[in-house]
Amino acid sequence: MNFNSFEFLVFLPIVFVLYWFVFQKREWQNLLIVTASYVFYGWWNWRFLFLIIFTSLCSFYSGVLIELFEGQKRRQRMVCAVNLIVNFLILGVFKYYNFFADSLAQLFWHVFHYQLDWVTLNVILPVGISFYTFQALSYTIDVYRKDVPVTKNIVEFCAFISFFPQLVAGPIERAKNLLPQFQRDRHFDYELAVDGCRQMLWGFFKKVVIADRCAANLNPLWDSYADYSGISLWGLALLFTFQIYCDFSGYSDIAIGCARLFGIRLLSNFNYPYLSRSIPEFWRRWHISLMTWFRDYVYIPLGGGRCAQWKVIRNTFIVFGVSGLWHGANWTFVCWGLYHGTLIVLYKLLHINTKDKDILAAGRLLPSLKDLFRVAVTFGLAVVGWVIFRAEDISQAWDFVSRMFLTAFDDFNFRLGSTNTFIAILLLMIVEYLQRNKVHVLQFPDNRVFRCSSVRYSLYACIGLLMFFYAGEVQTFIYFQF
């Protein structure tokens, strides 16, 4: 079920009313969440429910066995390892089997001129499998490390794994944040719910007004990119840069806002990444839940940054290579990850300042020229990376990027996008800059103007009108394929 579908507009109010006015006890609310989440997920294909239920049961009983084998480290390690292997095998078969089989066959053909007759699988990639698998595995690892206590309530655990707002495209939650919220009583919080509605509205604005319009302009033209000049190719790249940001961060805003309607607080997944002053800062602000997952469960166990420099470089490439592969079964994703890994290594080797954690131009209206330059460079590097991410294969990525820099910069093709699309993008960046110290854009400053309800509702009406006028063909959220 898509957030931007008629079915969801019917589904959400029904679940909300049942949750707060019918099933008021915690146990019944959790059971409703599990049921509603399975309906939400099974709306695409009910067969996928067997996978998420199996993953949930594996991780739940792994935690129980780890507690049962308290003091027997070897057995605990074995239980944790078996659960990891089983879940990674499921993920590998459904997402990567054909990719690696085809890649190995091509390698043998090019090197040995021998055709391997592999058996490929005709399977559909289950929606959100990368997200809920990582969420389930983090619980098992945390229980093994004694970072979280074992839960004995399977309904609470299934609610944690399958909570429908963040089920198919994150944020990837941790047990220590989300699971305790299903283990305590929840009471309706009007202010939290209203703030959630505002965040959902802004998420829908980014999806409908910007992401979908960028996609409508970009998709018909991408395959004919060779017909355009260098500046036009930068225009195409910019369209995808804002499409993927507004699509994915829009989903995260809707998910986080929707969760707040049910008294649940999800972790932030984006923090205005296009205002970053370095690539390392960009990755502290982009898809935060995934990158912190890789940091805690891959980078730090490998030694993190507290080891010899060559090991730090190795760890960085491993994390970004694997994170690229996590996004999809295509070498372009791996190259995109390694591209960013290379940039981060260069930042380290050149001792460029990467410790920026404060807000851009904190306490000032405008950034310094130095910060403005750093933001522009970081943004440009990110744009090049998104071309690699969007390309069909490595040769197309190389050709596209080469043409961006080497072909003439005259004759901008205005068919690349309507003026309204670029105006909406400019409006987005201005508003995000002005609200850069807020959790989300529609978290209003506490002043006399925004305390006036007529001003707030007028703003909501304007956003609604923009969504109405910009609305076109409904586009599926990009990260559903991951």
Query: What one-letter code names the amino acid at 359?
Result: I
Using CA atoms, how far residue 355 sits from 280, 281, 351, 376, in Å, is 8, 7, 11, 17
Using CA atoms, how far residue 48 sits from 45, 124, 171, 383, in Å, is 6, 10, 20, 35
Q: How many residues does the chain have?
A: 482
Tell whether the torsion through CA atoms of 2, 126, 296 and 339 is positive or negative.
negative
The C-alpha atoms of residue 136 and residue 158 are separated, in whole angstroms, by 10
Tell whether the torsion through CA atoms of 119, 124, 125 and 129 is positive or negative.
negative
Tokens at 63, concatenated: 């935690």
The C-alpha atoms of residue 424 and residue 238 are separated, in whole angstroms, by 13
DSSP state of 199: H
Phi/psi-derived region of residue 304, left when phi > 0, alpha when psi is between -120 and 50, beta in every other case: left
The C-alpha atoms of residue 390 and residue 362 are separated, in whole angstroms, by 34
Name the residue among 325, 203, 187, 368 with its Cα closest to residue 269.
Answer: 203
Name the residue among 386, 96, 459, 440 with its Cα closest to residue 237.
Answer: 386
CB-side exposure of 297: number of CA atoms within 13 Å?
23
CB-side exposure of 322: number of CA atoms within 13 Å?
17
Coil, strand or helix at 169: coil
Instruction: Phi first, then psi: give them for residue 313, nearest 5 degrees.
Output: -65, -45
DSSP state of 299: I
- Measured at the CA of 240, the angle between CA 270 and CA 298, to 5 degrees, comes to 45
The C-alpha atoms of residue 18 and residue 1 are separated, in whole angstroms, by 19
Looking up tokens 């060779």, which residue turns up? 226
Tokens at 29, concatenated: 């609310």
| Alpha helix ranges (H) inside 228-368 | 230-261, 279-285, 288-294, 309-327, 331-349
The answer to whether residue 327 is catalytic is yes
Name the residue among 169, 79, 71 with its Cα closest to residue 128.
Answer: 169
Catalytic residue (choose from 327, 340, 351, 440): 327
> Annotated catalytic sites, by residue?
327
